[in-house]
Each structure stands twice: as C-alpha cells, then as structure tokens.
Chain A
Amino acid sequence: MTTLLILIVVLLLAIAIWQLTKIFDLTQVGENVNDTQIADDNDNKVNGYIMFAFLGFIYLTTIYCVWNYGNLPLLKDSASEHGPLVDNLMSISLVLIFIVQTVTQALLHYFAFKYKGKKGQKAMYFADNNKLELVWSSIPAIVLAGLILYGLYSWNNIMYVDKEDEQDAIVIELYAQQFKWEARYSGADNVLGKANVRYIEGANNLGVDLSDPNAQDDFAASELHIPKGKRVIFKMRSQDVLHSAYLPHFRAQMNCVPGMVTQFSFIPTVTTAEMREKPAIIEKVNHINELRAKKSEQLVANGQTALDPYTFDFLLLCNKICGASHYNMQMKVVVDTPEDFKAWLKDKQTIVQAVKTAAAEAEKSEKPATPTIDTAKVKAVVKDSTAVAQTEVKK
C-alpha cells in the first residue's frame, strides 16, 4: 500500500514538474524564441509577479501559523514568579520581529516586482549614502540596546538568588541518569548531604555519602512535589552524560553536568489543581483528548489498546540529547498548596533508612558475611568499588 502511494506521489510530482516547465515555456509563446537561457523581459515580468505573490504567501503562512498554532506557545499561563517577566520580554521581541519582518519582506519583494527589468530601461546609479547607512545602523543599535537592557535585567533577576531568599528556600536535588529523573529532598535541615557517584551502592542509587550528618534526613522521590509560593532551589546532578532539566511551564531550564552541580531556582505560583482550571489549559486538554479519542478508535479497530485520556500535569523533560531513549525521559511535577506539600512530606523514608532496610532484607534472604551496614562499612565498600573500577580500566 505504502509503496503504491509513494509511486503515485512520485508520478504526480513528475507530472507537476513537466507541467510547470510547460507553463514557463508557454509564457514564451509569441515572443522571439529565446534560447540563450538568459532571462528576457518576459521572464522578468513573470517572475516579478510571482515575487509579489510570494510576499502574499509569506504573509498567509504567517497568519495561518499564528492563527492555528499561535495558541500553543508558552506565552501565557506561566507557573512561576519570573514567568511573566520572560513572557513579557518574549511578547515584546515577537511583536518587534513581526513588524520588522512584515516591512522588510514587503520592501524586498515589492522592489523585486516593481523594478523587474525591461529592455532599454536603465538602472539608477546609486552607489552609497552615508546618511542612510548611519540611519539603519543606529536604529537597530538603539532598539537592541533596549532589548539587551531588559534581557540582562531579567537574566540577573532569574539567575542570582539573594542571600535572604536563599535562607527560606527549599533545596531539592534533581538527579539525572539515562533515562530517568529522581529528586532528592534535603529534609528538615534543608541541606543536601554530600554525594558522589563513587558512593553508589545497592539501594543508595543516588550516591549519597551516608556518613554525612546533613545526609541523614535526605529522602528521594520519583515524582517532584513542590509547594506553591515558596522559592525552590534546584541543584542538578547527572551520573552519566549531559542531560538538561527542562520545566517549560516554569520557564526554567538548566543542564545537568556529570562532575559538577548546576543550579536553577524559581518560585512556583500556580498549583497543579489551579492550572487544570485555567480556561486555556482546559481547552488544550479537551482538544488533545479529542485527538487521542480518535486515535484510540483506530487503535482499537486494529486490535491494539486504546490511549489513556490526558489530564494536565507539569512536566520535567530531558532536553539535551542523552542516548537512545532520550525521547522518553520525563518526570511528573506536582505543585501543591503548602498544606498538601506538608502532608506529602510526612512519613517519607530517608535514604539512610532505605539503605538499612534493603541491607536487612538482603541479610534475611542470603545471610551475607556483613550483617549490618553502618556508614564505615559503606565507605570501605565504596573504596573497594573504585579499586575494582581502576583495575578493570587498567586491564
């Protein structure tokens, strides 16, 4: 079937080419037969008109895209405090761009149409004009200066966290690995314990230094919960390759780099529940669900399982190519009210506990030589594993 379709498409294309060439040939009927392959008055005329039509095509494409896809962009409904700042700058830049685009494309294509060549016509000898050059160097310079100032102001606001703000912020580690995310919460002391991939062992899959006092209350989660209205400082780590923590709804993104800790911080301002109530989001979700329902019908008809209906959730996506399954590296993000967040925090098992439990279970089933894992042992094991890695590399 596909082969047939492809054949038909190829055939139609061939016919289209043939016909188009014929049209261009026909435009020359009645002219002196021009076989020089150099454009003559008629070519100039035809292509001049098409140039003008092409301007229409550019405008129509723009209008079509803005009309149909213009509601998709993340220009509104941001969910972080700095979101409106970014969106505002984005809107200003977009408006500017559209104005410049409309005017310059019009001039370019209109001149191409207006001044199409004719025999005997002579062009104006106009080689330079310093005033004009000055005008159109300084106008972009001034406009860009404005954009730069606004941009730098926002950038500094977003990237630098004041010392005071830092103190009552929540610190959360975003831990990236091929191909999943994990979050490590700093617990009651609000300080993340030391960590390094060399501590990774069994249940301690984030490589936390279990002997570090700050690490004792750290706990891990596979779903990111953050409270509305409180600054969150994210510390990003990666255990293998580059990843990028992309939180589009919060206008937030930062790469996760193995060997270093990167940081991004924002204040969520809309809870997941509130976001689901926003008219634009409702409309989007309904539209997506219609599409999914349609697709499900097809799938069911083919004997496959139907798609789940979609409910809105904030997302954390990986946005730096990180391997074969890069396209499916995501984590659900939930913005809670402060009360819900508190409730969610309760009864979370700390990483230290989790390691102990895992060790105890292992002991029960296998009765290994080391009965309990205390921190000193873990360190010893860690040293061992490095040694093993080194010897293996040497081999």
Chain B
Amino acid sequence: MSAEAHNHGHEHDHDHGHEHHHKDTFITKYIFSIDHKMISKQYLITGIIMGIIGIVMSLLFRMQLAWPEESFKIFNVLLGDKFAPNGVMTNEIYLALITIHGTIMVFFVLTAGLSGTFSNLLIPLQIGARDMASGFLNMVSYWLFFLSSVIMVISLFVESGPASAGWTIYPPLSALPQAISGSGAGMTLWLVSMAIFIASSLLGSLNYIVTVINLRTKGMSMTRLPLTVWAFFITAIIGVISFPVLLSAALLLIFDRSFGTSFFLSDIYLAGEVLNYQGGSPVLFEHLFWFLGHPEVYIVLLPALGITSEVIATNSRKPIFGYRAMIMSIIAIAFLSTIVWGHHMFISGMNPFLGSVFTFTTLLIAIPSAVKAFNYITTLWKGNLQMNPAMLFSIGLVSTFITGGLTGIILGDSTLDINVHDTYFVVAHFHLVMGISALYGMFAGIYHWFPRMFGRMLNKNLGYVHFWVTAICAYGVFFPMHFIGMAGLPRRYYTNTNFPLFDDLQNVNVIITAFALVGGAFQLVFLWNFFHSIFYGKKSVQNPWKSNTLEWTAPIEHMHGNWPGELPEVHRWAYDYSKPGHDEDFVPQNVPMKPGEEVLHH
C-alpha cells in the first residue's frame, strides 16, 4: 500500500517537472481512464442518460394511466406501430415500460449513477488517497456497468418486446415466454445485463471497502471520516453481502429458462399443455430476490443520506449533530436491512409465523431512521443556513424521507399490509422514501461537488427553479397516490376502466400525471444547466462552499494523484464549523489543532 502511494507520488513529481511527460492520450484520459475522478464522471453521465430514459418511460405510462387507451402521437413516435398502433399504448408495452422504468431507476440511476459516481469521486479525495486501491478494477467496474447499460438498452429493441414481468421478475411469469411475450429474448437480455451489472457492482464495492480500510491518510482515523465516506463504506459492505444472492437467483432463473431445471417452477399448465416442471417454488425466488431487494433500498438511500449529512453540515455552518449516533444508525440500518426482506412477502404464502418475525425486525429499522431524521433537523437548529441548491435538495430529502418513511410503519405491519399490499399506497411509499429521496441526494451531490468535478459552478438560479418545481411536483405526484392506494387500486394495471369501482379515482390520476409531466419537463432545466455549465459555467474557486473536508484542499485542476507533493495530514474531524476560538466559521481537516485547543465533540 505504502509502496503504491509512494509510487504515485513519484510519478506525479515527474509529471510536474516535465509537461511533455504526460502520456495520456485521449483514450487513456477520457475513455479507459483509471483515474477515479474521471471514472466518477463517466458513472455520472451514463447514469444521467439512463435516468432520462427511465423518466421518459414513466411519463409515457403516466399518460396512459390518466387518459387510458387514448391516442397520443408521442406514443406512436417513441414506441412504434407495433406497441402503439394509432398512438394507443398496448397493454404489453405498458408492462414493459413499468418494468424497465423500475429496473433502470433502481439499478442504473440510483445504484450506479448515485453511489458509483460519488463513491468514486469522494472516497479517495475525502480520505486523502491518491486513487482507489485498484484503479484498474475500478475501470473494469465502470466498463462492465457501461456494457450492462448498453445491453439493457438493446433489450428495448428486441422483436418480442423488453422484459415485462415487473422489475421484481417473479417467475413463473418471467421464466415462460408463453406467459408473456416479454419473457422471451427481452428477459434473457435483462438477466444478462443484470448479471454483468452485479459483477460491476461487486468489483466497485470491493474496491471501495479496501480503499477506505487501507488508504486513509495520516491522522484520518475511522472516527474522523466524513459521514459521506462512512455511508459509502457501509453501502459497499451491504452490496457485497447481498448482490451475490441476486446473482445466484438470476443464474438459477437462467437455468430454469434455458436448461429445463425446476428451481422456481412446479405444476404449470400453460397454453393447453402441462409443462415438465416439478418441485420448484416461486416463493424461493422471492426470498432470494428480496434478500438483495431490500438491502438494495439502503444501497440506494445510504449514499444519499451520507451526501446530505455533508451538505447540511457545510451549509448550516454547524457540525452535524450526533456524529457517532449517525454512524451507529448507518450500521444499525445496514445490519437490520439484511433481515427484513420478508416484509415484501407477508402474503406470498410463506409461514405466517415468519410474517410476525419480519414485522418485528421491520419496525425496528424505523428507530435508526428516526434518529437520522431528528439529527438532521437538530443540525439546522441555530445554524447559519446557506441556501445553496445542494442545501435545498438536502432539506427536501429530509422532508420526503420523513413523509415516505412514516408510511413504512403501515406497510411493515403484516396486518395492515394485507390490504395495501401491491396497491398504489406501496408505489407512493417507496417512490418518496427511496426514489425521490435518493434522487434529491444525487442532485444535492451534483450541485455540491460539481465545482470539484468540473472546476466550474452550476448556475444557482436555475438550481433554485429546478428544486422548487421538482419539490412541488414530487409531492403533487406521490402524495395523492397514498389515497388511491388506500382505496384499493392495484398497481401495474394498464387501465382501471374495467372496474367501475375505481371510476371516482380517475380525476386523481389526471392530477398526478399533470404534476409528473410538469416535474419531468423541469428536469430539462437541470440538464441544460449541467451540460452548459461543464463548458461555460463560471470558474470555481478551490473551496467555494468553505467546506472542511479534504477534497477541497486539492487543486482545482485535476491531476492523477489528487495532490501535488505530499498527501495532506488530518488533525481533526470533518465538522469543525463555527467552532469557538477560530476566526473563520470553518476549520479544514488538515489544519493542526491550535495550542490548547480542545476537541469539543464526543
């Protein structure tokens, strides 16, 4: 380790002395780069592109839900004659859209786009390392992610249609092309893409873990790490524990689909004949899927919460309240997240006793989550809040995290879950608590670290417009959904017109879609701001937010190795904001303690 660090330093000295020594070609600098900063940008831009696809899909099916089976030119343009004859969306493509929307948003945007971007950018910079433990594995990790993204996008164009068994791909529906046409080639590509994605995620996660454990600079003890790094570190650990289980589920499903095994299939009569499957259980698949699927929620959310901790502390000019309690709750959430998966399966046919156990563990996880929310609120108290766009998104995250988290108390309770399971109540809950919250975390991270990534500032006024419209639309979309869910409206219905019982919910669906369309359109403001500012944004100063963490002690110009000369040495924790006895309201981590200065936090 030290040898490598030394080596990097050495290389760097060379670079500095002789400009011509740069051997970076376009390809090694921008494409097959092993520099974590470049890789993080690659993750971010790939994530944003996938995000555009995912969000456009959601707008399409929202239009179908508001104006069922009406003709829209845009459907015909985007979906083609087969899936939208005369501009009317077919029921098959509707299911495909919701499936791919879920897959893309959960895995490609909020796992890779969020965690991949900021783990890569921040772990080395905030712990004072030259790069990741293995730059090469890091590069492989990104390119596997890119490959899986490409395969997922290709799967949209196969003739039988993309995977359409829901993002949870429960067999037998996902295993039998006779059951739904999307379970043919589309599903095969989906599984291949996900298998590659998991490999990418594992390589990334292992790298993050090793880097955090081994490459911290002098003085950077675990209890001096910024909460972002703690969040990324624990997220990586959950990923390493749970993603392999999804891989095994995917592999067994591939066996069932292609090689005639019966892991998940039994006693099936379909299309006029009995299929030769015997002894498998779809419930087994549900267990395997949710053993990843639930921790996945925290894989998505914890990095967002880590980013928020950092952004809120910096912009409140106050130490994050309860640093140790925050670490403890991250660890508690991570541990509990691996033993609550059964709350997705209360009514799957598993033993009701298991339902009781999972209700218990699920409601336990509310405690560390509540602690986090209270700590954020207390951090704001008596602060000197700098309302930068990143700060707004962080406050927005706390708001949606509370709103969405609270309804988890209902869904986690097996008794109440009976009647709201798989209704729009669930859709409202998880979109607020993990979808919108994690997206806000991602936006907060982008607005906050954009200067660090590109050396330029994002336009703040566009940022304000982006935040406020998004905030209003997010509530406008997902708040009413709770109510139609409680009225018993099942999710994943192509249209509700076959149930006169739900006729009085149609106007709510129109309102929801209107908010969704406006909210979706205003993401263009962000996109314009983002891509325009990369090239024409106002040049940034080195530490625009007057932040304490190490990434702001590195020069604006990117260099492989992050710091010219020596690595910074750390003398204090990351949250000495407005500390009494200092003139400035921030004290970066590399500033030595004054003579007689005391550590004021515990």
* A residues neighboring B (CB under 8 Å): 2-3, 6, 9-10, 13, 17, 20-21, 24-25, 35-39, 43-44, 46-48, 50-51, 54, 57-58, 61-62, 65-66, 69-70, 72-75, 85-86, 89-90, 93-94, 96-97, 100-101, 104-105, 107-109, 111-112, 115-118, 121-130, 132-133, 136-137, 140-141, 144, 147-148, 151-152, 154-156, 158-160, 177-178, 196-198, 200, 207, 236, 239-242, 244, 246, 248, 251-255, 257-260, 262, 264, 284, 287-288, 291-292, 307-308, 310, 315, 317-328, 330, 385-386, 388-390, 392-393
Contact = CB atoms under 8 A, between A and B. Distances in A.
Given A197-B268, A259-B281, A389 B486 contact: no
Interface in B403-449: 403, 406-407, 409-410, 413-416, 418-419, 421-423
Interface string B157-173: 00000000110001111
A284 B275 CA distance: 45
A47 B392 contact: yes
Interface stretch (B124-132, B248-256, B494-502, B562-570): B494-502
B555 interface: no
B532 interface: no
B117 to A, nearest CB: 21
B475 interface: yes
Contact of A147 (B72, B260, B274, B409): B409
A58 B406 CA distance: 15
Interface string B338-372: 00000000011100100110011001101100110
Leading 5 A-B pairs by shortest Cβ distance:
A259-B266, A73-B486, A127-B601, A37-B457, A69-B483
Given A128-B601, A244-B347, A259-B267, A111 B377 contact: yes
Contacts of A307: 500
B349 A260 contact: yes
A115 B415 contact: no
Contacts of B384: 115, 117-118, 121-123
Contacts of B371: 133, 136-137
B244 interface: no
B472 interface: yes
Contact of B416 (A89, A108, A324): A89
Given A241-B176, A319-B421, A328-B498, A155 B359 contact: yes
B422 A244 contact: yes
A155 B356 contact: yes
Given A111-B380, A136-B370, A322 B421 contact: no
Contacts of B281: 257, 259-260
B385 A197 contact: no
B80 to A, nearest CB: 17
B328 to A, nearest CB: 9
B363 A108 contact: no
23 contacts: A9-B517, A17-B525, A65-B479, A73-B483, A75-B486, A108-B398, A109-B395, A111-B381, A117-B385, A127-B601, A137-B367, A144-B364, A144-B367, A148-B360, A155-B356, A254-B347, A255-B349, A258-B266, A317-B499, A319-B490, A323-B180, A324-B92, A393-B260
Contacts of A117: 317, 383-387
Contact of B419 (A44, A74, A96, A389): A74
A112 B393 CA distance: 12
Contacts of B521: 10, 13
For the complex, would chain A's binding face be called helix, strand, loop or mixed by DSSP majority? helix
A322 B538 contact: no
Given A108-B398, A133-B375, A319-B421, 18 more contacts: A50-B468, A54-B468, A74-B419, A115-B383, A115-B384, A122-B578, A123-B578, A124-B382, A126-B382, A152-B360, A196-B267, A246-B490, A253-B421, A258-B267, A307-B500, A308-B500, A389-B273, A389-B274
A93 B578 contact: no
A216 B324 CA distance: 68
A381 to B, nearest CB: 12
Contact of A240 (B269, B391, B461, B544): B269
B577 A72 contact: no
A255 B347 contact: yes
Given A128-B325, A240-B172, A284-B504, A257 B538 contact: no
Contact of A155 (B386, B415, B459): B415
A206 B600 CA distance: 73
A253 B347 contact: yes
B84 interface: no
Contacts of A69: 480, 483-484, 487, 505, 508
Most buried by A among B355, B360, B399, B541: B399
Contacts of B269: 177, 197, 200, 207, 239-240
Contacts of B487: 69, 72-74
B265 A259 contact: yes
Most buried by B among A118, A126, A129, A158: A126
A128 B324 contact: yes
Nearest to B494: A327
A70 B486 CA distance: 9
A152 B356 contact: yes
B499 A51 contact: no
B530 interface: no
A325 B457 CA distance: 50
Most buried by A among B322, B376, B517: B322
Contact of A178 (B179, B348, B414, B471): B179
A255 to B, nearest CB: 5
A51 B399 CA distance: 11
B522 A13 contact: yes
A323 B498 CA distance: 16
B380 A112 contact: yes
